[in-house]
Amino acid sequence: MHIQRWNEADPPVASKLRKRLEDEGYVVTENSDDPGAVYEAHMHDQNQTHWILSGEVEFNTAGETYRLRAGDRDFLPANTEHAAFVCGSETVRYLTGVMNS
């Protein structure tokens, strides 16, 4: 798993990030999860990326915990076991990009 931290001056804009993901070849959906939501350890058959629009989420993989905030992005290679937890008191909104091979 690789993390890309947001370093732009302006906050993330869903439409612009969606376009960037689509230009990279991802099929994109917009999602949201309430505070306290938990995703138990699981894997996906395709490469995935999550781009956080608002809120915070923790991803756990290979014994490491990564907290992503608005603008941060992860890269999950296919078959990477991971779990997630929506931390904080705000609903997390994010784009999921799936790379079909």
Contact residues for 8 (Cβ-Cβ < 8 A; gap 6+): 71
pLDDT in tens, 27-84: 999 999 999 999 999 999 999 999 999 999 999 999 999 999 999 999 999 999 999 9
- Would you say the pTM of this structure is higher than 0.75? yes
Give the CATH fold of the 2-99 domain. Jelly Rolls (2.60.120)
Residue matched to tokens 């076991």 = 81
d(CA 87, CA 58): 7
pLDDT at residue 92 is higher than 70: yes
Return the domain boundaries, the chain: 2-99
Query: How many helices (H) and strands (E) would you count in the chain?
Result: 1, 9
